Every structure is written in structure tokens, then in C-alpha cells.
Amino acid sequence: MENNITTISREELEELREAFGKIDIDNSGYVSDYELQDLFKEASLPLPGYKVREIVEKIIVVTDSNKDGKINFEEFVSIIQELKSKDVSKSFRKSINKKQGITAIGGTSAISSEGTQHSYSEEEKVAFVNWINKALQDDPDCKHLLPMNPSDASLFKSLADGILLCKMINFSQPDTIDERAINKKKLTPFTVSENLNLALNSASAIGCTVVNIGSQDLQEGKPHLVLGLLWQIIKVGLFADIEISRNEALIALLNEGEELDQLMKLSPEDLLLRWVNYHLANAGWQKITNFSQDIKDSRAYYHLLNEIAPKGDDPEQLPIKIDFTGFHDKNDLRRAEYMLQQADKLGCRQFVTPADVVAGNPKLNLAFVANLFNTYPALHKPDNSSYDLNLLEGESKEERTFRNWMNSLGVSPYVNHLYSDLSDALIIFQLYDMTRVPVNWSHVNKPPYSLLGGNMKKIENCNYAVELGKTKAKFSLVGIAGHDLNEGNPTLTLALVWQLMRRYTLNVLSDLGEGEKVNDEIIIKWVNQTLAKANKKTSIISFKDRSISTSLPVLDLIDAIAPKAVRPEMVKREDLSYQDKLNNAKYAISVARKIGARIYALPDDLVEVKPKMVMTVFACLMGRGLNRIK
């Protein structure tokens, strides 16, 4: 592999690394095979889809040397070097040079000891600053930081004390962080570090990938990491209601002959695209297929704004007239500016500048459209109530916790719907990899799947996933077959997913204990010994112990591990109502995250004493305690 790299110039290598880094957003150092199609797209390669698929297959066969279905940077460079004669590398250079507003900063890559450059997008920085300024403008705790200046580097300095990040997480997903756990006054390097731990572990709990981002990176304001994390947090908020169980009016987007469960499998991005096209069809305008090339002339946006603007038929909303004067302007930038002036009438001039529209920046245009949807969806639930209402229940809290856990680990593609997105088992195989269950990737069928026989390929994967669970992972999977995973049987799928999460959690503990196997009894014994050593009166018999509903054993354990982390006046100890228990649980989970425990459980899990999630809370705290001793 080394020989391949030396035949590519340093300049070209950095440009290839740039393209690779745009897809490898979690900085893990590799991309999976299906993400490579995005990588080639990023490079604006003049290749038809079938050619890209051929190249992708070739990379897997020829260069995926460890056969794990993931391509590291060196493997990627080797194939580019082979294709160099076809001007592929030049294409990469051209594409990256064309990206305007890219600011390069020195840095080092984890993939190579050579120095490289991380870049960040000036447009994204400006968009995020404006969004945060608006979102938190009335928050008294942010007065010392806001408004930030979008044209300088104040964003990176302002996020350094962790307060803004914690606030943005709560803005995107209310009640994720207990405000009482945020250090707000007389900040020291230690309390700032606690805030940043709280932010990172809470971001992880809402499904953001925080692999390879530490509190130190945020304190130093490393732009590419800060912007990558911020985008994930903002996107969680923007997409929260773009889901049928939370917004039944989305049923209006059903195509003729389409079943509701098919619509429910769509990602938020796909639903947004369908929403735009629904309104464009009503306007008699052509469909769009993306939020980049197809919106560059702003004309689709003009029609969308006109369709969703209040018409005055609701007595509570004044009519807003969209002025089409700029629609026929011959200059794309001017036309985009006129269009954004109309968006401003709806209070939705956010995320994009005229240049971002004309450049077709997909990320910022997606955010612009999501904000339009959240403000003026202009959809009406059909009168026909013949839909299966059970489908509209939405995911349970347990399902959401598992989904967030997977996404925080950086599985690809992103899991939007727990069951349908696991139907080909690719996510399961990635989780096996992460929990050290050996996967033979040459046995795994990978997308794109053909229309004919594609589902059989998925079932083969699911059969292999169940077989690995039984034979290699030694999971208890009685009565579970591949078709149960493929069809999304909730009970049986959750049984497998829970055992994966448990294995992942115990692996972390086992590593800290130098390979010693850990089980429930060992965790309970450690919890009780640690509590007794700190002269605490609480203890637990099992993970079903009813005293856990008060969260007092958890709070006492945190205090034993990290004295002074818990403020006693925040904890209610006697005559606890349900609300008191919930408040204790919220505080316990936030303080645990603040001292560095990556907890995915929810406050309700403690109050209702759900033994599986309770186990993960104590296991994570044990990990934190052992880490501190080390």
C-alpha cells in the first residue's frame, strides 16, 4: 500500500483526503462501501451510476484488504491511483477547488502520521451562527455569548465553555439535559470540562455520532469537529417532527396505491422531498429530485413558498402574499436574493444565502426546507380514516434509545426507523464488528439490491446475523429466525438488539478490568462496595430493586465516584411523589453524563425500574469509577 501512496503527489493526496473526510464525517478513518458512491459524487466524477457500482465492487474485491466491508483511506487511495490515467484525481482536485468558502486549517489525521489539512465550510459556520443566535436569543444564561458575529471565529470561542452546546441540545431535543447540572457561574477549567462532557454524552444519547471527539477538541474550538457536531445536533431538532407518528398530516403525501407502512419507512430527507413535490405538483411545476442541482435557480422555491404561505382562510393567520417579481430575473444570484426576501416574510430566512442556493449546497438547502416545513407545513390530514392507527403510535422510548445508541456509534446508513432499517442486517453486522463478534464480510450481501430477488439477499443476511448471534456471540436467540429480523418482528428484533447493547457495555467494563469477564453479580457487588466505602446508606439487591425508582442509589454512587458532582440541595430524599422521583432521575442521568458516563437510558427507565436499562446505568458508572482509579 505504501508504494501506491508515494506515486500520488502530496497535493493530490491532500485533496483525496479532503474528499474522503467529507464523507467520513465522524472521523472514524473509514467509510463503508455504499458511502463510496457519495464519495465519488463529492468528487463530481463524470461517471454513470453503473460505472460507479463497478468501481465500488472493484474496491471491495481488490483493495478491501481486511475484507471488513469498510474502506480506509489507504485502500481508497490505491484504487484512485489505478484510475489516475482516467483523470479521476484531477476531477477530485477540480471539485474541491470549486468549493467556495472552504477554509483550510492545519491539523493531523488519525489515519496517517503525515500532517494533513482539515477544512471547514465558511457557509456552514455563518448558517449555524445565525440559527443559534435566533434560537437562544432570549436565554439569560447565554447573554454573555450572544449574539455571535457570523463573519469571525467567535462561534468556536463561544462554544468552548459548553453552555451553548448544552442549550442547543435542549433546543433540538427538549429535556435531554437537566439545566441544574450545567455549570453556569464562576467557571474553572474543570467545570468547563464537565459541561463539555455533559454536552458530548447528551449529544450521544440523542443519536449524534461523537466518535473521536473529546472535550479538549471542543475547548480548543477545532472547527471541523465543532461544525460536524453542531450540524448533527441542529438536524435532530429540524427532523424531530418530520415523522408521521408526530405529524399525521404527512399522510397527505401518500402516493396512489401506496400503503401507509411504506410511507412510514421513508427517511426525513425523503419525506421532505416528497413534501416539496406535493406542493410543486399543486402549483403545476416540475418535480425536484434533490436539494442541490434542482433548486439552484430558486424557481421551485418560489412556487413552494407561494403554496405554503397563509392564504387568509385561517382567522388566526394573516395572509402573506409571495411576490413573483424576481422570478423572471435573468441573474441567478439576484433571483435567489428576491426569493429569500419572500421567505423572510414567512420568518424563514435561515440557513442559506443567495450564494448557497445558487451553489446548490445540499446540507444548507436541506436545513432551509426543513425549517420551512416546521413553520408552514400546509398539509391537511385526509378525512379517510381507514388507516391502521397502530402504525401511527410511533416508536417506544426503548426503541428510540436503541436507535440513538446505534447512531451514536456511527453505523451507516443512519437508522431512522429501527425495524425497517435493520431488515437487511447490515447495521447488525456493523454492531457485531464493534462488539468483537467476527463477521465474514464476504458472506454479506450489500446494496444496491435488485428488485428481483433483492429481498432474498436481505433474508440471507438476516439468517447469517442470527447464526452469528447464536454461534459466535453466544446470545440467547431461541425462536428467532432470519425472516423475523427481515420482517421487523418487534419483540424478536429487540431481543437481539438488547443483547448487542449489553455486550457492548460489558466489553467496555471488561477492557477496564484487563479482560476479566463481567456479569450482573460483579456489577452489583461493585456498586454496593463502592457505596459502603463512601459511607452511603443506600444499596441494591438487584437491578429490579424498587429503591432504584428514587434514583438515590444512583446519585449516591455518583457522589462516591466523583465527590462534589452532586449538589445535595438538588436531591429530594423523603416523601417522594412521582414528580420528585422523575426530577431525581433527570438530575442523576445528567450528572452521570457530566462526570463522563455515556448513558443512553432515560429518566423514566430509573423511575419505572426497567432492569435492562438500569443495568446499563450502573455499568457505565462502574466504568467511570474504574477509569478514575486507573
pLDDT value of position 496: 97
pLDDT in tens, 564-578: 999 999 999 999 999
How far is C-alpha 50 from the geometric centre of its chain's CA atoms?
A: 29
Q: Are strands 102-108 and 115-121 parallel, antiparallel or unpaired?
A: antiparallel
Which residues are 104's β-sheet partners? Answer: 119
pLDDT value of position 383: 72
Of 192-196, 215-219, 533-537, 589-593, where does mean pLDDT reach its minimum?
Answer: 215-219
How far is C-alpha 169 from the geometric centre of its chain's CA atoms?
A: 12
Banded pLDDT at 505 (limits 50, 70, 90): very high
Residue 610 pLDDT > 80: yes
Of 88 and 578, more confident: 578
DSSP H or E segment with residue 380: none
How far is C-alpha 115 from the geometric centre of its chain's CA atoms?
A: 28
Residue 447 pLDDT > 60: yes
Banded pLDDT at 619 (limits 50, 70, 90): very high
The answer to whether the CB of 109 falls within 8 A of the CB of 145 is no
pLDDT value of position 39: 59
Contacts of 200 (CB under 8 A, 6+ apart): 210, 213, 214, 215, 218, 229
Residue 560, all three cell numbers: 462516591
Banded pLDDT at 3 (limits 50, 70, 90): very low
Instruction: Report the half-sphere exposure of 3 (CA within 13 A, side-chain side).
Output: 1
Residue owning grid cell 441542529: 234
In the DSSP assignment, the letter for residue 117 is: E
pLDDT in tens, 33-66: 555 555 555 554 445 555 555 665 555 565 555 5
Other Cβ atoms closer than 10 A to 376: 19
pLDDT value of position 25: 53
pLDDT value of position 94: 47
Of 31 and 52, more confident: 31
Of 517 and 386, more confident: 517
Q: Mean of the pLDDT values across residues 508-518?
A: 78
pLDDT in tens, 6-29: 345 556 666 666 666 665 655 566
The answer to whether the CB of 362 falls within 8 A of the CB of 292 is yes
Please report which residue ranges of 59-162 form alpha helices under DSSP H.
73-83, 88-98, 122-135, 154-158
pTM of the model: 0.82
Calculate the average pLDDT of the chain. Answer: 86
Cα dist. 143→133, 484, 504 in Å? 10, 53, 41
The answer to whether the CB of 598 falls within 8 A of the CB of 620 is yes
DSSP calls for 440-488: -GGG---SSPPTTTHHHHHHHHHHHHHHHHHHTS----TT--HHHHHHT
Task: Kindly state the percentage of the chain with pLDDT values over 90.
Answer: 68
Banded pLDDT at 75 (limits 50, 70, 90): low
Residue 263, all three cell numbers: 410511507
How far is C-alpha 448 from the geometric centre of its chain's CA atoms?
A: 23
Contacts of 278 (CB under 8 A, 6+ apart): 252, 253, 379
Residue 426 pLDDT > 90: yes
Residue 190 pLDDT > 50: yes
Contacts of 3 (CB under 8 A, 6+ apart): none
In the DSSP assignment, the letter for residue 85 is: G
pLDDT value of position 100: 43
Of 95-99, 327-331, 392-396, where does mean pLDDT reach its minimum?
Answer: 95-99
Task: Kindly state the percentage of the chain with pLDDT values over 70.
Answer: 79
Number of residues assigned to the chain: 630
Of 91 and 449, more confident: 449
Other Cβ atoms closer than 10 A to 527: 24
Number of helices (H), then strands (E), in the chain = 28, 4
Query: What is the C-alpha to C-alpha distance for residues 415 and 602, in angstroms, rounded to an integer?
Result: 19
pLDDT value of position 89: 46
Burial of 373 (0-12, 13-18, 19+ CB in 10 A): buried
Banded pLDDT at 456 (limits 50, 70, 90): very high
Which residues are 103's β-sheet partners? Answer: 120
Helix (H, G, I), strand (E, B) or coil at 163: helix
pLDDT value of position 452: 86
Query: What is the C-alpha to C-alpha distance for residues 411 and 427, in angstroms, rounded to an integer?
Result: 6
Banded pLDDT at 511 (limits 50, 70, 90): confident
Helix (H, G, I), strand (E, B) or coil at 31: strand
Q: Mean of the pLDDT values across residues 441-462?
A: 92
pLDDT value of position 541: 97
In the DSSP assignment, the letter for residue 519 is: -
Helix (H, G, I), strand (E, B) or coil at 79: helix
Q: Where are the beta strands (DSSP E) in 123-216?
A: none
Residue owning grid cell 439468517: 463
pLDDT in tens, 99-132: 445 454 543 333 333 334 456 689 999 999 999 9
Other Cβ atoms closer than 10 A to 416: 20
Contacts of 453 (CB under 8 A, 6+ apart): none
Sign of CA dihedral 512, 513, 516, 519: negative
